[in-house]
Amino acid sequence: MARRRVVLCCRACGAEVTTPAQAISVRDAHEHHVFNPAGVLFRIGCFAEAPGVRPVGPRSDQFTWFPGHTWTVTVCAACGRHLGWLFRPVSGSGAFHALILDRLVETGGEDEG
């Protein structure tokens, strides 16, 4: 019997963004509560890969939540909704996605196997 593959989708349009299997720990946690310079609070989760987002705009090192990393805003590749940020190390490898968890919904995707 085929199993349903669990995926995380854009809450706005339903497009696949990533999977729970891509969740990683950064600075000793997967989930972080962070705020931007305007004081807006975000609950983010860190993911190694998020093929359903695309980066937009320039890289920045201003107000980074992860020291030693620059960030770029990421949006849903299907609808353009802001879903998070791509963090890239200033030197070396180890880029990751920080996605806004309440802008994602967990669903069963296509059948596996």
Asked whether the whole model's pTM tops 0.85, one would answer yes
Residue 92, C-beta contacts closer than 8 angstroms, at least 6 positions apart: none
Alpha carbon 71 to its chain centroid, in Å, reads 12
Q: Is residue 29 part of a domain?
A: yes
Contact in structure between 108 and 5 (CB atoms under 8 Å): yes
- Show the domain range for 44: 22-102
In the predicted model, what is the mean pLDDT of the chain?
Answer: 93
Amino acid in position 78 = A
| Number of separate domains in the chain | 1
Domain of 74: which CATH number? 2.170.150.20
d(CA 106, CA 14): 10
Task: Please report which confidence band the pLDDT of residue 92 belongs to, taking 50, 70 and 90 as the band edges.
Answer: confident
Q: Is residue 5 part of a domain?
A: no
Please report the pLDDT score of residue 109 as a whole number. Answer: 57
Pairing of strands 41-47, 31-35: antiparallel
Enter the DSSP assignment of 77: T
Task: Please report which confidence band the pLDDT of residue 5 belongs to, taking 50, 70 and 90 as the band edges.
Answer: confident
